[in-house]
Structure 1
Amino acid sequence: MVTIAVIGLGTFGSSVTEALLDTDTELVILDKDRDIVEKYKNSVTNAYITDAISEATLEKVIPPDVNAAVVDLGSQLETSILVTNHLKKLGVPQIIVKARSDEHGEILKLVGATKIIYPDYDAAVHIAPMLLSSALFNYMQLSENFAIAEVKVRKEIEGKTLAESSLRQKYSLNVIGIRQEGSDEIKAAADPLLVLDNQMILLVAGMPQSILNYTDRHAAGEKQKKDGNVFRKFLHRN
């Protein structure tokens, strides 16, 4: 069984806790807010109320076989850095920490964090591309070199079959699903002879730049150039 510790029940920590409640996971939570801890105490394996999260406290309450720890201590930058370092010393294999800024994130990496979460930025990365392109309905970047997106069927491929559209050859995009505009039901793109029309939304996977290359064609003139540059900023984080 997987054991997860959530240290700090801010927005991110609480969301992780909520997501894990209905799974077969041993969940340990820590926070200084009694009301928040009380809310979850009957649904998790162990719940602790503590103001001072010291190395001794963590060693006492976190199981030695814990698989991962999630740290969300809000604006307590110094505390989050110390807790991350304590967790590393305890040998926690995965330490996922919410950062307030790039500088904060870099320090967290240095002291032991294995994954940094930037909630505000990650939300912007998800939303901004959709604001900049009328061809993009949904966008999720899973890594620096891989993303999934819902895109419109371009005029140049309307009336063609999925095989004839050559999206893989022209744009290095793989079509993994299709839905009708106005419907949430996604069907597998299993039929290469399926004829594409302008009421279809394609679920594609590929590099962020490949998605940009496909959706950029829907803009024109200076707006295309301007929006494309902004889009690239969101697709490629420094």
Structure 2
Amino acid sequence: MKRFVIVGLGNFGSSVAEALYSRGHDVIAVDTDERAVDNIAPHCSRAAVGDGRQRETLEEVGAGEADAAVVSTGDDITASILATMALTDLGIENVYAKVISHNHARVMVRLGVTETVFPERESGYNLASRISEKGVLNYVRMARNLSVQELVVPDDWRGRTLRDLEVRAQFGVSVVGIHDTTNDEMIVPPDPDETLERTDTLLLAGPDDALEAVAELANETAT
């Protein structure tokens, strides 16, 4: 079990706190909004009303022993910066920060955060990727040159094997899993000699342009 401290309990911060707590971790949640603290209290180890920008406040709630922290202070960039500085002053090495713009992200990177998260941009990008291609069920951008998508098996691929299709050689993407939707079973890694069925979906990883090419093939061959 790890200890996490969440500073800022808007939709994003509260969701992270609840998800970590549901996985059995020790979660400390801090916000200046008493109502937000009351709402998250049943879903974390400790919820406290306080100023997460202050090192003293964070020390009082036990944040100094945390393995990692998440800063989610809404549109208040100054609060985001000060909370991050207070957390790093406590010796917390892994700090993840929600950002609201590219400039905000640049500042947080300069402060040495482990990772910045831009939920609105990422959600918009993923939605656009899904709805622009008929066969794409899920799409997650992992980095600038790597994304993962779940794709309905193209008609021309049904009844064939991954070894026969040579997907990586043909398209430059890797099939990292096969989702058998009839049993709701994800097979990772996939069997290269297993025949692909109509009820299967493929979990593909690779550059955006290569994934788009595969999705276009699925659209062209769809019946």
TM-score normalised over the length of structure 2: 0.84
User: Does the 8 Å contact 1:85/1:112 carry over to 2?
Assistant: no
Percent identity at matched positions?
Answer: 26
Distance 1:164 1:127 in 2: 32
Query: Which stretch of structure 1 is more off in the superposition, 66-75 or 51-60?
Result: 51-60
Distance 1:52 1:116 in 2: 18
Amino acid at match of 1:90: L
* Cα offset, 1:116, TM superposition: 0.7
User: Does the 8 Å contact 1:28/1:46 carry over to 2?
Assistant: yes
SS in 1 for 2:56: helix
User: Does the 8 Å contact 2:52/2:83 carry over to 1?
Assistant: no
Residues 1:219 and 1:33: Cα distance change in structure 2 (over 3 Å):
same
Residues 1:202 and 1:5: Cα distance change in structure 2 (over 3 Å):
same
Aligned runs of 1:137-148 on 2, under 5 Å? Answer: 137-148=137-148
Query: Which stretch of structure 1 is more off in the superposition, 16-25 or 96-105?
Result: 16-25
Equivalence for 2:120: 120
Q: How many residues align?
A: 218
Aligned runs of 1:46-65 on 2, under 5 Å? Answer: 46-51=46-51, 53-65=53-65
Equivalence for 2:10: 10
Aligned runs of 1:1-238 on 2, under 5 Å? Answer: 1-51=1-51, 53-175=53-175, 176-180=177-181, 185-188=184-187, 190-196=190-196, 198-217=198-217
Amino acid at match of 2:211: I
SS in 2 for 1:149: strand
Distance 2:130 2:86 in 1: 40
* Cα offset, 1:212, TM superposition: 1.9
Q: Which runs of 5+ in 1 are unaligned?
A: 221-238
Residues 1:28 and 1:141: Cα distance change in structure 2 (over 3 Å):
same
SS in 1 for 2:195: coil
Distance 1:131 1:91 in 2: 43
Query: Which stretch of structure 1 is more off in the superposition, 153-162 or 61-70?
Result: 153-162
Residues 1:200 and 1:48: Cα distance change in structure 2 (over 3 Å):
closer
Residues 1:202 and 1:44: Cα distance change in structure 2 (over 3 Å):
closer
TM-align CA RMSD: 2.5
1:3-30 CA-to-partner distances (Å, cap 9, x unmatched) read: 1001110011000111022233221111
Amino acid at match of 1:95: V
Residues 1:217 and 1:32: Cα distance change in structure 2 (over 3 Å):
same
SS in 2 for 1:64: helix
User: Does the 8 Å contact 1:34/1:49 carry over to 2?
Assistant: yes
Q: Which runs of 5+ in 2 are unaligned?
A: none
TM-score normalised over the length of structure 1: 0.80
User: Does the 8 Å contact 1:30/1:37 carry over to 2?
Assistant: yes
* Cα offset, 1:214, TM superposition: 1.4
User: Does the 8 Å contact 1:4/1:69 carry over to 2?
Assistant: yes
SS in 2 for 1:41: helix
